[in-house]
Amino acid sequence: MQILISNSSKEPIYGQIYVQIKKLILTGELQEGQLLPSMRQLAKDLEISVITTKRAYEELEKNGFIYSIVGKGSFVSEQNMEMMKERKMKVIEEKLFVAIQNGKEMGLSLAELKEMLTLLYTEDE
Amino acid sequence: MENVIELQHVQKSFDGFQLKDFSVTVKKGFVTGFIGGNGVGKSTTIKLIMNLLQPDSGTISIFGLNYKEHEKEIKQRIGFVFDENIFYENVTLAEMKGIIKPAYLNWDDNLFNHYVQTFELPLNKKIKAFSKGMMMKASLTIALSHHAELIIMDEPTSGLDPIFRRELLDILHDLMQDGDKTIFFSTHITTDLDRIADYITFIHNGEHIFTKEFYKVEEEYAIVKGGMELLDGDTEQEFIAIRKSVHGFVALTDNKTRIENIFGETVLIEKPTLEDIMFYTKKGSEKHV
């Protein structure tokens, strides 16, 4: 399980761990039922405090990505991929809608917006 | 969560120094970093926890037990680690073991040998020839060999070179793996804490300022930078302390969200270091005197 922590990032460390494990689960790199390293082991490996990994695991558990069994550890939950994808699509739609509204306010055409989107999309790659 | 150390409303006065209504708890299975400047009460607090000093009033309990009735039991379960030599200088570590071993019911020779090997400590060299780093390792070895559940360290990293400091933090990470041990250590080298501390307890002028999860400190406190025109009698009240110059101001807040709401985009908001928090808190308390 690869996790990279940036100490200079504005994102808190537990947030970085949360995002990266979530991504590993959503891309299927971590499979349903798979055992995650213990909080204490992960803290040692990443050279960070236990409370930080604990917070990340708690957030992952709260949002249904993992579950814990006392004395056994934390495991990847069964993910309903279709539903998750739908939910994500909805968020993207909403954000795009806001961008379109903003664009319309200042009279941007669809072509101009598309151009902007293409530019931003390729820049991020 | 279980508290290993509990101080409730502890008062302790000396000439010119006072620990005031000091309450603090230390959680089992975690590392608590105890920070504060020189002479603010860190060592006094540690001495109270070790029963080397008794409070004028208030209660102290360790593992849920009080010293009056359970001193022996508590001391069996505490390991005190230091880099100063409190061993006899003219003996070897092997001889020192012979002296200390009978004092502990849970002494474990296998564990002792294990750590002597891991730390590459010489058994037959006189202790006075040990470096600070070796002394620290020897002291830790003794603490671990009697299965101490609570490890107290007074400024463990001061006087150690950066490489050994990293090594020590690795050792501490190893110790924390089973979740049964608790570490409480005072320091003023705050950067060491980034890697290991779960909780931060901050003391200033004999007063407990806060005990918080490390990440919460970073979430709540912030360094705020902005132009002098933003400051007036009202807005200045929002900060713990402010450093002003002709180029603008730098200030510390313990309520980041509120500052974001008040000043919005007009200021720069940055993550504070523990040193920032110590510096501005001291500055802020001077202002009120």
pLDDT, mean over chain A: 89
Tell me the HSE value of B162 on the side-chain side, using a 13 A CA sphere: 1
Residue of chain B nearest A51, judged by CA positions: B198
Judged by CB atoms closer than 8 Å, whether chains meet at A44 and B174 is answered as yes
Put simply, whether A114 touches B (Cβ < 8 Å) is no
Put simply, whether B258 touches A (Cβ < 8 Å) is no
CA distance to A89, A122, B222, B251, B265, per residue, from B226 (Å): 39, 36, 13, 9, 10
Q: What is the DSSP letter of A125?
A: -
Best of B215, B216, B260, B270 to substitute, by most chain A Cβ atoms within 10 angstroms, is B215
Q: Are B46 and B24 in contact (CB under 8 A)?
A: no
**Which residues of chain A have a CB within 8 Å of the CB of B196?**
49
What's the rounded Cα separation, in Å, for the pair A17 and A12? 9
Put simply, whether B26 touches A (Cβ < 8 Å) is no
Tell me if ipTM is over 0.85.
no
Put simply, whether B31 touches A (Cβ < 8 Å) is yes
Helix (H) or strand (E) holding A15: helix A13-26
Judged by CB atoms closer than 8 Å, whether chains meet at B31 and A44 is answered as no
Q: Is the pLDDT of residue A12 over 90?
A: no
CB burial class (10 A; 0-12, 13-18, 19+) of residue A122?
exposed
What's the rounded Cα separation, in Å, for the pair B235 and B266? 13
- Give residue B84's pLDDT: 66
Q: Is the pLDDT of residue A125 over 80?
A: no
| Sole residue written with tokens 């290991």 | B196
Least Cα separation, residue B212 to chain A (angstroms): 11
Judged by CB atoms closer than 8 Å, whether chains meet at B196 and A49 is answered as yes
For chain B, give the number of residues: 289
- Give residue B12's pLDDT: 94
What's the rounded Cα separation, in Å, for the pair B223 and B203? 20
| pLDDT band, very low/low/confident/very high, at A123 (cuts 50, 70, 90) | confident
- Give residue B87's pLDDT: 67
- Give residue B85's pLDDT: 61
Put simply, whether B177 touches A (Cβ < 8 Å) is yes
Cβ of A29: how many Cβ atoms within 10 Å? 12
Residue B12 falls in which region: left (phi positive, over 0), alpha (psi -120 to 50) or beta = beta
Q: Are B279 and B288 in contact (CB under 8 A)?
A: no
What's the rounded Cα separation, in Å, for the pair B122 and B119? 9
Nearest to B30 among A14, A44, A50 (CB): A50
CA dihedral B169, B171, B176, B178 (to 10 degrees): 160
Token pair listed for B270: 């940055």
Residue of chain A nearest B174, judged by CA positions: A44
Kindly report, residue by residue over A64-109, the tens digit of the pLDDT: 899 999 888 999 988 777 777 777 888 899 999 999 999 999 899 9
- Give residue B287's pLDDT: 62
The SS3 assignment for A35 reads strand
The percent of residues above 70 in pLDDT, for chain A, comes to 98
Run means of pLDDT, 10 residues per run, chain B, 289 residues: 92 90 95 90 92 94 95 93 71 91 93 92 90 86 93 83 85 90 88 85 92 90 93 90 93 93 91 90 74
Helix (H) or strand (E) holding B17: strand B17-27
Judged by CB atoms closer than 8 Å, whether chains meet at B199 and A40 is answered as no
Residue of chain B nearest A50, judged by CA positions: B198
